[in-house]
Chains A and B, each alone.
Chain A
Amino acid sequence: MASMIVASSNAKPLSPLPIPSQSPKPRIQIPQIKIPSSEKIPQKLLKLSSSALKSLSAVAVTSLAFSPPSLAAEIEKAALFDFNLTLPIIMVEFLVLMFALDKIYYSPLGNFMDERDNAIKEKLNSVKDTSEEVKQLEEQAAAVMRAARAEISAALTKMKKETQLEVEQKLAVGRKKIEAELQEALANLERQKEDTIKSLDSQIAALSEEIVRKVLPVQ
């Protein structure tokens, strides 16, 4: 095909050469280029440099020589606008493809995407709502903390008082005990003093006699 294109494009400047040809098909003209009858060539075209003419015709000839002989016949049959049963078959194929793609692609994936979009939207909305909730919770937490602190301080003061009371009690008890012991000890001492004094009294007479005897030995 491409060779045909080249050939025909090359043949164009030459096509008026042979004759005002009667045949409408350009590929029938082309073989005639090989034998251009010099008498029929218009004078105008003869003015072309002969070398250029030669090369042009050479191109035409070579390209023709390479194209298979059946090519001309094949291209004559070329049917660009050849309508036939292909058209309705393609229509049916297209409709089948449409329904199949709808079943396996557009509908499932579309629904899936819509559902996901909705889910994401819901989640976003719920997140916005929970910001309120979070505030409430924070307030609650703060209240709980305050209550706990108050409770703790109350308990602390109560415990302080209790322990102080206890300590004081214990202190008082200790003091009493010590005082009692002191009293006892003092009483003991007093008694011992008295005892000692008594015993001293009883001994005083003997002692004084003894002293007298010693002082006054000879009587």
Chain B
Amino acid sequence: MNVLSCSMNTLRGLYDISGVEVGQHFYWQIGGFQVHAQVLITSWVVIAILLGSAFIAVRNPQTVPTATQNFFEYVLEFIRDVSKTQIGEEYGPWVPFIGTLFLFIFVSNWSGALLPWKIIELPHGELAAPTNDINTTVALALLTSIAYFYAGLSKKGLGYFSKYIQPTPILLPINILEDFTKPLSLSFRLFGNILADELVVVVLVSLVPLVVPIPVMFLGLFTSGIQALIFATLAAAYIGESMEGHH
């Protein structure tokens, strides 16, 4: 009994450090509407990181790139490559959308794992990755839906809707259903992965505070990157799919 309560005491101390508050939000009121302040704050930080680093690195491009410029060129080529493989030759106008999706999700996910948000205490809830909140992921997924509808409609006009009865009209309900499952799967995949990732780390830290959580943390970083890539690739694939001709 003694041993048990003793270990419980130490664990209790660790819970205080490692506790994550699922579904707890720090609310702000904006004109009668509620917003999740912790999501907005972290998203501002993420946006500031992205804009600031990009501005510093690209401010004065050199023909022989410096280290940072080289990194940003590599990232841009990576984004272009993803867009090109998924969308095809007309990928140019979609690079900003795909790239921003990838960078925003990637930096958000990694910020949740790497930035010491715990230093800043909120009255309620806590700061974590913006992608930890369903609002963010659904917002991105809806933007993706809008994007691929826009891509299809601007490319083919109203003929775009003929794809719903394309192989055969029997598939009409399934094709319509797809438009709902796409954003749903996109948003829930990202949300679930990031939330589960943080929870797994927290639970492991609470159970075994030393060493054991480290591989899981690295796994978390890995999955975070993969999730960002998956989201961007799927968005590009949807856009490419709605732009491609059937004939």
- Which residue numbers of A lie inside 8 Å of B, CB to CB? 1-3, 5-6, 55, 58-59, 62-63, 66, 74-75, 77-91, 93-102, 104-110, 112-113, 116
Query: Chain A's nearest CB lies how many Å from the CB of B59?
Result: 8
Task: Select B58's contact among A63, A75, A109, beta carbons within 8 Å.
Answer: A109
Instruction: Other than A2-B19, A3-B15, A105-B54, give 19 A-B pairs with Cβ distance below 8 A.
Output: A1-B20, A1-B22, A2-B18, A6-B206, A62-B8, A63-B8, A80-B22, A85-B33, A86-B136, A87-B135, A87-B139, A87-B142, A93-B47, A94-B104, A97-B50, A97-B51, A102-B100, A109-B69, A110-B80
Interface residue B36 (Cβ < 8 Å from any Cβ of A): yes
Q: Contact between A101 and B50 (Cβ–Cβ < 8 Å)?
A: yes
B83-111 interface bits toward A, Cβ cutoff 8 Å, 1 = contact, 0 = none: 00000000000011101100110000000
Interface residue B168 (Cβ < 8 Å from any Cβ of A): no
Q: Which residue of B lies closest to A83 (CB)?
A: B135
Q: Which residues of A contact B30 (CB under 8 A)?
A: 85
Query: Chain B's nearest CB lies how many Å from the CB of A82?
Result: 6
Q: Which residues of A contact B40 (CB under 8 A)?
A: 86, 89-90, 93
Q: Which residue of B lies closest to A111 (CB)?
A: B61
Q: Which of B20, B22, B33 has the most CB of A within 10 A?
A: B22
Interface residue B73 (Cβ < 8 Å from any Cβ of A): yes
Task: Select A5's contact among B1, B36, B142, B203, beta carbons within 8 Å.
Answer: B203
Q: Which residue of A lies closest to B97 (CB)?
A: A98
Distance of A112 Cα from B139 Cα, bound (Å): 32
Query: Chain B's nearest CB lies how many Å from the CB of A116?
Result: 6
Q: Contact between B96 and A106 (Cβ–Cβ < 8 Å)?
A: yes
Sort A-B residue pairs by CB-CB distance and give the 7 closest, nearest first: A78-B23, A85-B33, A86-B135, A2-B206, A105-B54, A102-B96, A90-B139
Chief secondary structure at chain B's binding surface? helix
Q: Which residues of B contact A116 (CB under 8 A)?
A: 63
How many B residues are at the interface, by size bracket? 35 or more
Q: Contact between B36 and A110 (Cβ–Cβ < 8 Å)?
A: no
Query: Chain B's nearest CB lies how many Å from the CB of A110?
Result: 6
Task: Select A97's contact among B47, B61, B69, beta carbons within 8 Å.
Answer: B47
Q: Which residues of A contact B104 (CB under 8 A)?
A: 94, 97
Q: Contact between A101 and B54 (Cβ–Cβ < 8 Å)?
A: yes
Query: Chain B's nearest CB lies how many Å from the CB of A27?
Result: 14
Q: Which residues of A contact B133 (CB under 8 A)?
A: 86
Query: Chain B's nearest CB lies how many Å from the CB of A91?
Result: 4
Q: Which residue of A lies closest to B32 (CB)?
A: A85
Q: Which residue of A lies closest to B133 (CB)?
A: A86
Q: Which residues of B contact A94 (CB under 8 A)?
A: 100, 104, 139-140, 143
Q: Which of A74, A78, A97 has the most CB of B within 10 A?
A: A97
Distance of A55 Cα from B1 Cα, bound (Å): 7
Q: Contact between A110 and B95 (Cβ–Cβ < 8 Å)?
A: yes
Q: Contact between B36 and A82 (Cβ–Cβ < 8 Å)?
A: yes
Distance of A90 Cα from B96 Cα, bound (Å): 17
A113-B73 contact given A86-B39, A104-B51, CB 8 Å threshold: yes
A2-B15 contact given A85-B30, A102-B96, CB 8 Å threshold: yes
Q: Contact between B134 and A91 (Cβ–Cβ < 8 Å)?
A: no
